[in-house]
Structure formats: C-alpha cells, structure tokens
Amino acid sequence: MPATIQMYGPSGTHIPPPSPSNQQKAHHNGSDPSAICAKLVTVNRGRREAVILKLNKPATIGRNPRCDYVVAGTFVSGVHCTLSAVRSPNGGVIVSCQDSSRNGIRLNGHRINKTVVILMHGDSLEIPDSLTFTCQHIWKDLHEKVELFDPEHPTQSARTMTVGKYLVTNQKLGSGSFATVHLAFDTSHTNCRQVACKTIRTKKECDKRQIFKEISILNRLEHPNINRIYDTEQNDEFMFIFLQLCTGGDLFTYIIAYAEKESRLCEAEAKFIMYQLLIGLLYLHSKMISHRDLKPENILLHVPGPYPRIVIADFGLARPRAYQETLNVCGTVSYLPPEGILALDQEHLKYVGMPSDCWSAGVILYVMLWYDIHILKTLSFTTVQWRSSFRRRVDI
C-alpha cells in the first residue's frame, strides 16, 4: 500500500495534495501570491509528509510547537531553520533555507551553520540525527536553459559547468541586457560555499576594458552594504565574476510584492533601508567612486524577510574620480538628476556622478513609499529600453 502524502501549510494544518489542475496553476500563475512554489518532502514514522512553501510566506521547521513543521529530537533546535520563497529579478523563484540552529543542517552532505543557502530542485536537506527533506520545485522558471548560456532551449534538469574551482549551475538568479547571474559553488571551500556568478559575454575589446574597470572598482571595496567580489575567471567567450550571494531578490521585486497587494513599505522599514543605502553611498564616495546607476533593481536583499540588510550591486557603470565632471551621461533615465536629463540632448553640458547618486537615492526613497503598480512597472520598462539604447555612451 503506498504511503500517504501529508502536506502542511503555513498554519500547520493538514491539506490534501493539489490536483493536477491546481499543480499546473501553481506552476504557471506567477502573479498569484498564494501560488505554491515548492515543497520539502520527508518520511516521518513511515509516512510521507511535506512542508508546503508559498511565495513570500516563510515556513519554519523546529522543535517548538509553534513551528509550521514540528520535529522532535535532542539535536533539533526550537526554530531549527526557516524556509522562504521570493521572486527572482528574472521572474522565477528563489527558494532558500536560513539555518538558526545550534547543530546546523546538511545540504547535500555539506554542513552549513548560521547562514542562508539556496535550495535547488532535488537538493537534500538533513537535520542531524533527525529527518531528511528533499526539495521539489513546483513553480519553475520558464526561462531556464538546458545549456548555461544557450538562449534557445528550456531546461529539464539542473546542470553545471566547471569554471576554475567553481561549479556554475543553470539556476538563474537574475539577468540584464549585458550579463546573467547564476548560482555557483566554490569547491575549494570546506563546505562548498554558494556564490553568485555574474557571466558577461565579451565580444569586443572595449567590452573587456569595461569589465576590467568594474572588477578593479569592486576589488577596492569592502563594506557590508556593497556587494563583495570573491574571484574572477575568463575564457575566450565569457568573463565570470564570482560575488557574494544574496538570497532575498532585489529591492524592486520586494516593492512590487507590496504594490500587488495595494500596499507599500511602512515608513520605518523604508527609513531602515534608506539609512543603509546612504551609509553604503557615503563609503563609496569616500573612495571617490560613483555608482551612476542606482535604482531598486541594483539593490539586493541579503536574506528574505522584512527589514533586510541591503547590498548595492552592479558596478558596470561605476566611475572612479567621481568628483570630476563628465560629458558622457549613463545610468537609468528614470533615476537621473535634472542636469543628467538636460545633458542627454545638449552634449556640451557636464554633470558629476556623486551628486547624481544622491538624487537617485532620493528617487528610490520615493519609489519605496509609492504603491501604484502600473507606474512602478513603467519605471522598470523604461529602464531596460534606455539602458540598451545609451550603453554606447558610457565613458571608459
């Protein structure tokens, strides 16, 4: 007789397995906040059970009776770990696990403790001397590829490629006009540390110069609110930049999640995020570097959840000697200061990157406190169109 599948929602109550039609709806309905994203399946006392994970609705596993899934055992902490699912910038879903236990957990045999990891489809999550869960993604990213950098074919299973000491997966964390970010593993690290791999196709020599400038800037920076660089690799076709992994998505996606519920960030949380952004900018400007493309899409959340630590990312348009005036305007038009807008049509006009960053930060604060979903999505659309049109004007 086959084992019964017991599924538990955020309230801890048993719910029946979804019918095929409901599974299909959860798979494709990206706009439904209640859509089931993933489940962690285990065998508990001979029964198959699963922790159900929904978008933006964390689930806890632990010994405490208030946890969404209760596990008894001497080595199990009150709240052993927290599972989360958030939208990724490219429209998929990032499923993550944050360990808060004394004894840690094992991801595919590697011990992790007091950190956050991304869970891919098929990953094994073990609580020591207790249960083992298998992660099953239900809501797939329809834009994933079979080959890591193949723009044509949809994927059927997770794949990896070796780049130096790293294993780069086809789990896409984000993408833009000029780069794609994938989940990767540092095999030289004791516990096979997860990192983000920014992959840029280098067709021209000028592309390489621009990338090396970004790498040079990142190597000079070390701050909790600025994305940290670990390593770089390159081959004849691609440049690979290995960066600190952030599991909470980006600020724009976070704001959109509120706007879709006809809500917005509370003033206290917006103030907390803005404070971190200004602290990061202060550090950046003290190094005489301007970012020149500050916007919510380029601000990452270190972990999912409210009041997050934010990390400034994407230094592709950053410029040293930021106190100097420049004739070349770059960035995103919706976040440019008035002098930058004027300089688009009047090429003799100059503007300075550091004040431009401050203006962009002010626009970001306004966007955090705004909740019109249509205007927010228009800002995002304008960003993409402008960047692709004006990239050639970036000064090297």
Please report, in angstroms and rounded to a whole number, the separation of the first and last CA atoms in the chain.
68
Name the active-site residue from 68, 250, 293, 357: 293
Q: Is residue 293 among the annotated active site residues?
A: yes
Contacts of 48 (CB under 8 A, 6+ apart): 3, 4, 5, 6, 41, 42
Query: 287-318 b/e with 16+ CB inside 10 Å = b?
Result: eebbbbbbbbbbbbbbbbeeebebbbbbbbbb
| Residues whose CB is less than 8 angstroms from the CB of residue 375 and which lie 6 or more positions away in sequence, other chains included | none
CB atoms within 10 A of CB 325: 10
229-234 and 238-243 strand pairing: antiparallel
Instruction: Provide the token pair at 88.
Output: 């990724």
> What is the biggest distance separating any 2 CA atoms in the chain, rounded to whole angstroms?
79
114 annotated ligand binder: no
Is the Cβ–Cβ distance between 27 and 18 less than 8 Å? no
Side-chain half-sphere exposure of 270, counting CA atoms within 13 A: 18
CA 201/CA 181 separation, integer angstroms: 12
Q: Please, where are the H alpha helices in the chain?
A: 20-28, 205-219, 251-259, 267-286, 338-345, 353-368, 373-390
Positions marked catalytic? 293
Q: Name the binding residues for ATP.
A: 198
